[in-house]
Amino acid sequence: MTATVDRATMPAETAPRAAAGWRVVAAQEFRELWVGGRGPVLLFVFSVLLSVVTYLAATNQVLNFLERREAVNLTLQISVAVGALVTLIVSADGISGERERGTLESLLLTPVSRRAIVAGKLLAAVSLWFAAFVVTVPYVWVLGRGVSIFGRALLLGLLVGSLLSLALSALGLLISALSNSNKVSLAVAFLLLLALFAPTQLPGGMPRGWFGDLLDAVNPVASGLHYLSAVLVTGHDWTRDLAYLTSPLVAAVAAGCILFLTADRLVRLTGGVSAG
Amino acid sequence: MRRLLVAAGLQLSLAACTLGAGEAAAAPVAAAPVVEKAPAGSVEITLDQTRVETTVGTRLSVTSRMVNTGTAPTDPLVAHLNVASLDGVYTDLEDWSADVTRSVPPLAPGGHTSLTWQFQAVNTGNFDVYVAVLPSGPGAGQGPLVVSPPLHVKVAGRTTVSAGGALPVVLAIPILLGSAAGAAWLRRRRRERRN
């Protein structure tokens, strides 16, 4: 967010108005993300990726061999994974980027609490996921029409993707606040992303033992995607594998709580956590 | 004459002793339970279905029931799921199922067990799916194979997403979003120039 939060537009420091501070920050972040051009470009790249995957699923002989449910699952998993990735990258730039552009100081001078700043940035980052989800709908429809999983696939994708996006956005903001430079923040975010996504690329039939299962259960991305496969491909009832959603839910709640509880000490002109 | 009678008597008593000893020696063997292994051929296998019509990619399951119809327990057995194409299509069993071999503990006379097999129809055409049972214990390599009646699986091709059906969405969405991104970029650039 550049230093465009106008003091005149900010509410006075009465309690109810101060509570609306996050809305002002969020609106400004939305404008910067969507009117500033970053959001549309990311969404365009996202749609190209989904188009390629959908076209391959529809025409390629090997991918075409997949059952339709598997094609829907593949597209939805890519959508959820890339949507969450994009939110993590945007949020990893949230505070360290402001510091490097020299706009954080102006932002901190506005009568908005630091929690409100963090909340506004978090909402803006998560909005990217919701936009990505809207873009996903026609692709899932093309692949899923004719099989009765279109509605279920969308609902589950929205649920899992929202949980993962919330968790990763909050983590991205934490990383951004703690990093001394934007470069470090983005590098750490990428590393985290690779670490979380790598286990999902292991061959499905590979025996992993209890340790592998434990890692899968702890990893919010792996367990979220596993839940989607279990319901959409294996045909389990949506309540049967709900335990797989524990990890994304815990990650979202824990990262969100830590972010808001430490916001006053995290959002400052230098990276790291201040003593006071 | 007396000598002859004595000699005959001795021979009879010796013979009686020998017979008695023989009976005594055989007695423990006769007392122990005689365990005769029934050949695997006394096992009968049936499947719970005889005919299935499906489309490629569908996951199916069939249950085989094995009954020991003999009078003695069987050897430990191995049950194996097989798929044979009736149209000459090359069939890779590993593609159909990752779990094609199961161990079956010895079946008591009259005993039975059921195994459920899951597989995916990955080729189109006509196939027979069947289960073969063979002994794996001491009788391994000797017992005859017992084969279930076949489950006839007719696999039809499925309606896939056609390139033509997907093309409008595949092209339209990136074009729309690309245009929106381009318009936003142009507007921003114009504003920057004005400023």
DSSP for B59-105, please give it. Answer: EEEEEEEEEE-SSSPBPPEEEEEEEEESS-----HHHH-S--EEEEP
Confidence of residue B4 (pLDDT cuts 50, 70, 90): very low
Query: Which of A51, A66, A142 lies at the smallest CB-CB distance from B165?
Result: A142
Measure B165 CA to nearest chain A CA, in Å.
7
Tokens of A272: 């790291």
Distance CA A197, CA A83 (A): 13
Q: Number of C-alpha atoms within 13 angstroms, CB side, residue A74?
A: 20
Q: What average pLDDT does this structure show over B94-117?
A: 91
Q: Assess whether pLDDT exceeds 70 at residue B43.
A: yes
Query: Which of A37, A67, A143 lies at the smallest CB-CB distance from B184?
Result: A37
pLDDT computed for residue B25 by the predictor: 37
Measure A206 CA to nearest chain B CA, in Å.
12
Q: Assess whether pLDDT exceeds 80 at residue B46.
A: yes
pLDDT computed for residue B12 by the predictor: 39
Distance CA A112, CA B78 (A): 73
**Chain A touched by B20 (CB under 8 Å):** no
**Chain B touched by A6 (CB under 8 Å):** no
pLDDT computed for residue A19 by the predictor: 58
pLDDT computed for residue A235 by the predictor: 75
Query: Which of A36, A40, A70 lies at the smallest CB-CB distance from B180?
Result: A40
Chain B residues in contact with A58 (beta carbon < 8 A): 160-163, 165-166, 170
Helix or strand run (H / E) with residue B46: strand B43-47
* Cβ distance of B173 and A138 shorter than 8 Å: yes
Whether A103 and A180 have beta carbons less than 8 Å apart is answered as no
* Cβ distance of B166 and A50 shorter than 8 Å: no
Measure A13 CA to nearest chain B CA, in Å.
33
**Chain B touched by A16 (CB under 8 Å):** no
Q: What share of chain B is helix, strand, coil (3-state, %, to 5)?
A: 35, 30, 30
Helix or strand run (H / E) with residue B120: strand B112-120
Whether A169 and A87 have beta carbons less than 8 Å apart is answered as yes
Chain A residues in contact with B56 (beta carbon < 8 A): 65
Distance CA A196, CA A194 (A): 5
* Cβ distance of A37 and B122 shorter than 8 Å: no
Show which of residues 31-90 on chain B sit within 8 Å of chain A, judged by CB atoms: 56-58
Mutate to test the interface with B, among A33, A34, A53, A54 (most CBs of B within 10 A): A54
Helix or strand run (H / E) with residue B6: helix B2-31
Give me the torsion for CA of A129, A135, A137, A143, rounded to 10°. -120
pLDDT computed for residue A214 by the predictor: 81
Mutate to test the interface with A, among B161, B162, B171, B176 (most CBs of A within 10 A): B161
pLDDT computed for residue B16 by the predictor: 39
pLDDT computed for residue B15 by the predictor: 41
**Chain B touched by A135 (CB under 8 Å):** yes
**What is the value of ipTM here, to two decimals?**
0.77
Distance CA A108, CA B174 (A): 38
Q: Using the structure block, give the residue that is written with the tokens 């989904």.
A: A50
Show which of residues 153-182 on chain B sit within 8 Å of chain A, judged by CB atoms: 158-163, 165-167, 169-171, 173-174, 177-178, 180-181
Query: Which of B160, B170, B177 lies at the smallest CB-CB distance from A43?
Result: B177
pLDDT computed for residue A21 by the predictor: 80
Q: Tens digit of pLDDT for each residue in B108-157?
A: 999 999 999 999 888 889 999 999 999 887 777 777 789 999 999 999 87
Query: Which of A35, A68, A142 lies at the smallest CB-CB distance from B166?
Result: A142
Q: What average pLDDT does this structure show over B94-115?
A: 90
Chain A residues in contact with B166 (beta carbon < 8 A): 54-55, 57-59, 142-143
| Angle, vertex CA A212, rays to CA A208 and CA A215, nearest 5 | 165
Percent of chain B exceeding pLDDT 90 equals 37
Per-residue pLDDT of chain A (276 residues; tens, 9 = 90+): 544 444 444 444 445 555 578 888 888 888 888 887 788 999 999 999 999 988 887 776 454 445 677 888 889 999 999 998 899 989 998 888 888 888 888 888 888 888 889 999 999 999 999 999 999 999 998 888 766 778 889 999 999 999 999 999 999 999 999 988 889 999 999 898 888 888 777 765 555 677 777 887 889 998 999 899 888 877 788 888 899 999 999 999 999 999 999 888 888 887 665 554
Instruction: Quickly list H helices, chain A.
Output: 15-19, 21-30, 38-59, 61-64, 68-92, 96-101, 104-109, 114-144, 150-178, 182-197, 209-218, 220-232, 246-266
pTM (2 d.p.)? 0.64
**Chain B touched by A204 (CB under 8 Å):** no
Per this entry, what is the length of chain A?
A: 276
